[in-house]
Chain A
Amino acid sequence: MDEWPCAKEHGRIDMKPEFIRFVTGIVRQTDCNREEREDLYEELLTHLECSFIDYQKKGYSEEEAMRTAMTNFGTEQEVGDQLQEAMYPYRKGMMLGLSVASLLFAYSVYASQLFIMGDAHILWLILAVLIGMAVLFVTVRPVTSLNRRLWMNGLLLVHLFVYFYGLLLATDVLPPYSVGLTIIAVLILLLGIILIYRTTIYDYPSKRPALWKDAKRLHFINITLGILVVFVTLFFLWALLLFSEVSSIFLLLLIPIGLWMLSYAVQMRLLANQKVTWAYAIVFTQIAAVVVMIFLVRGI
């Protein structure tokens, strides 16, 4: 607060309820987490109060000074959008695009499956609409407690799985309908993956500035390996289901995913304990194992 000259000049500033409501409305438009919101809230409030004091000094009445300070500041929506764009460039647009495209795709692929193939994928439609709505909700009505990396990535990962099934449904429709739907599904999945990368690496970075770079590198490698492991597992699951019925043997397929999750968690714990070398040793072992697996499969 001390960085504002008026704060230095006037000491403690009385926060007006009108300003509190106004700033709350602005902050709600952003994707900030709780900590960032508190900082932003305080900064905007101080700025408004200083502006209010300046106008009063110029001879404005209290009410006029308050109204002019808020009018010159801009509307809640405008200021909120500008702040959001400045702090997280294109994020809101990407999230909005993901939710709208996902909802339209869900209805299109469901209708195509129903009227062309005769299959009603009701459960998938409900899941796809719920997840599309959830993404839309956190985009247009951000909730402070949800805007943490874990929750956002959880939401995006669920979206990825639900819409990967949508991709399979799109490829299953008779051509030429399948072509357009498949392209749209792939674009939606790519956008979802990009959002997972930016949410993890850029939008909600580690709280320890010294480890930012290492954390970014490890997150990037682990997310990439995770996507690879999950899709290879799904491919083998699909291949097995094609030729046989569901069996407990299929649980063995989950071992690589389990190992990847364990390895990722251990690396992050080591990083938090400043054991950077050990964290890198694990991630390189992981990469080596994947490369060996690829060569073994190619050999077969």
Chain B
Amino acid sequence: MNKKAFGLLTALIGIVTIIFVGLGFVYEKSENEKQNGLTAIFDVSATGVIATVRFEKGKAGIYLNTKDDGPIVQFPVEQKILDISFSNDGKRLAYVVSEKESSSDSISDVHLLDIDTKADILAFSVTAIITELAFDPKNPDKLFYLQADVFTNYSPITGKRPHDFDVHSYNLDNKTQTRHTDLKKYGMQSLHVSATDESVFVQMDDDENVQSADELFASYQRIFKIPLDMPDEKEIISNPTGQQDIYDFLVLPELDEIIYQAVGGTKSNGTYEYELFSFNWETNQTKQLTRLKEYAAKPILGSNQKIYFLVDLNFAGRTPDYTIYQMDLDGENIVEILW
């Protein structure tokens, strides 16, 4: 190739590269703007309304029943909705908002939304990360929540995450906050409030009596019932000797059952398959309810005695692909809820 031809080729490659660089500046999206679609946050009201949190070009919003109606509330791309919870009568929806970039100085704003009038009020704010909300079925003015007091990495080989969890509540009537536990748990999730007595149910590590790092690694995540007047006398209500971690659950007191999420198998590429199971604490019987071989999560009891749950069809992929399903209490008639 002679000098002139090579010079022309170099110029051509230079021009093409400059065009691609220019396109890069025009079409690049920020991480916040890339978020789109359904998140893992949803709830079902006593009146059968399904509320979901969706991203629309990075903006988090709450949608009722269908996305076509548009969001009833929506926040700037810098903020996220961490959880939502319907009141027992289904007329109010509590939700918590915080910055997407979490830190130990993050502020969590808890809002109350009137489903009929769509009036939205800020109930309270705390300088901490509130990860979950749940109304007290016995008292419509009491809202329980899980609060993480720090956002850090306790090990140099892990990223920063919320830790030092405890159970708190907020009285909407007299506007007072109460801290119910002093556990400072490394992790705590799936907050449920008992409909019959003064206690809450949470999932956390069964690591109270561990003495060494080996014992800590060998411990399992289980479901605990915490009496609010004597939080130290918490008890395990999932299978206490079960050899599997439990991640998410739903308590069905009238059936003496819990429906929980656990690993059900492994795909050929090594990715875990998460399924829903039921455990009867009277008979100690465990039953596998789903066999979707995907990532089934977050079981919620609907007013029609159906279990609603999420399935991530792209679990362990770059972006999740959530779909809502429903099934009977015994795991029969699994159908996808179309949006």
Which A residues form the contact surface with B (CB < 8 A)? 103, 107, 110-111, 114-115, 117-122, 125-126, 129, 133, 136-137, 140-141, 172, 174, 240, 243-245, 247, 249
CB pair B34–A118 under 8 Å, yes or no, is yes
| CA A107 to CA B21, docked complex, whole Å | 10
CB distance from B55 to the nearest CB of A (A): 13
CB distance from A111 to the nearest CB of B (A): 7
B339 proximal to A (CB < 8 A): no
CB pair B6–A141 under 8 Å, yes or no, is yes
B119 proximal to A (CB < 8 A): no
Which B residues form the contact surface with A (CB < 8 A)? 1, 3, 6, 9-10, 13, 16-17, 20-21, 23-25, 27-29, 33-34, 153, 155-160, 318
Return chain A residues, CB-CB under 8 Å to B156.
244, 247, 249
Return chain A residues, CB-CB under 8 Å to B155.
244
Q: List 20 A-B contacts (CB under 8 A).
A: A107-B16, A111-B20, A114-B24, A114-B27, A117-B318, A118-B33, A120-B28, A125-B20, A129-B13, A129-B17, A133-B10, A140-B6, A141-B3, A141-B6, A243-B158, A244-B155, A244-B156, A244-B158, A244-B159, A245-B159
CB pair A119–B159 under 8 Å, yes or no, is no
| CA A80 to CA B156, docked complex, whole Å | 59
CB pair B157–A240 under 8 Å, yes or no, is yes
How many A-B residue pairs lie within 8 Å, measured between CB atoms? 65
Return chain B residues, CB-CB under 8 Å to A141.
1, 3, 6
CB pair A115–B27 under 8 Å, yes or no, is yes
| CA A112 to CA B45, docked complex, whole Å | 42
Q: A172-B318, A243-B159, A244-B157 are in contact. Are A118 and B20 (CB under 8 A)?
A: no
| CA A110 to CA B20, docked complex, whole Å | 8
Give 8 nearest A-B pairs by CB, closest first: A120-B24, A118-B29, A120-B28, A140-B1, A122-B24, A244-B157, A129-B17, A118-B34
Contact for B17 among A125, A174, A245, CB less than 8 A:
A125
Return chain A residues, CB-CB under 8 Å to B13.
103, 129, 133
| CA A122 to CA B23, docked complex, whole Å | 10
CB pair B153–A244 under 8 Å, yes or no, is yes
Given A141-B3, A244-B157, 12 other A-B contacts at CB below 8 A?
Answer: A111-B20, A114-B23, A117-B34, A117-B318, A120-B23, A125-B21, A126-B17, A133-B13, A240-B157, A244-B156, A244-B158, A245-B160
Return chain B residues, CB-CB under 8 Å to A136.
9
| CA A236 to CA B27, docked complex, whole Å | 33
Return chain B residues, CB-CB under 8 Å to A118.
27-29, 33-34
CB pair B21–A122 under 8 Å, yes or no, is yes
CB distance from A247 to the nearest CB of B (A): 6
| CA A172 to CA B318, docked complex, whole Å | 8
Return chain B residues, CB-CB under 8 Å to A133.
10, 13
| CA A249 to CA B155, docked complex, whole Å | 13
CB distance from B313 to the nearest CB of A (A): 13
Return chain A residues, CB-CB under 8 Å to B1.
140-141
CB distance from A255 to the nearest CB of B (A): 17
Return chain A residues, CB-CB under 8 Å to B23.
111, 114, 120
| CA A118 to CA B17, docked complex, whole Å | 18
Return chain A residues, CB-CB under 8 Å to B28.
114, 118-120
CB distance from A129 to the nearest CB of B (A): 5
| CA A125 to CA B157, docked complex, whole Å | 31
Q: A107-B16, A111-B20, A244-B153 are in contact. Are A174 and B159 (CB under 8 A)?
A: no
| CA A172 to CA B13, docked complex, whole Å | 25
Return chain A residues, CB-CB under 8 Å to B34.
117-118
CB pair B159–A126 under 8 Å, yes or no, is no
Chain B residue with Cβ nearest A249? B156
| CA A247 to CA B157, docked complex, whole Å | 10
Chain A residue with Cβ nearest B1? A140
CB distance from A118 to the nearest CB of B (A): 3
Chain A residue with Cβ nearest B25? A120
CB distance from A190 to the nearest CB of B (A): 23
CB distance from B29 to the nearest CB of A (A): 3
Return chain A residues, CB-CB under 8 Å to B29.
118-119
Chain B residue with Cβ nearest A136? B9
| CA A119 to CA B318, docked complex, whole Å | 13
| CA A127 to CA B126, docked complex, whole Å | 47
Chain B residue with Cβ nearest A118? B29
| CA A122 to CA B3, docked complex, whole Å | 29
Return chain B residues, CB-CB under 8 Å to A107.
16, 20
| CA A174 to CA B318, docked complex, whole Å | 8
Return chain B residues, CB-CB under 8 Å to A122.
21, 24-25
Return chain A residues, CB-CB under 8 Å to B21.
122, 125-126
Return chain B residues, CB-CB under 8 Å to A119.
28-29
Chain A residue with Cβ nearest B157? A244
Return chain B residues, CB-CB under 8 Å to A174.
318
Return chain A residues, CB-CB under 8 Å to B17.
125-126, 129
Chain A residue with Cβ nearest B158? A243
| CA A282 to CA B52, docked complex, whole Å | 64
| CA A141 to CA B3, docked complex, whole Å | 8
| CA A247 to CA B156, docked complex, whole Å | 8
| CA A174 to CA B314, docked complex, whole Å | 11
Return chain B residues, CB-CB under 8 Å to A114.
20, 23-24, 27-28
| CA A247 to CA B159, docked complex, whole Å | 12
CB pair B27–A120 under 8 Å, yes or no, is yes
Return chain B residues, CB-CB under 8 Å to A244.
153, 155-159
| CA A140 to CA B34, docked complex, whole Å | 43
| CA A129 to CA B21, docked complex, whole Å | 12
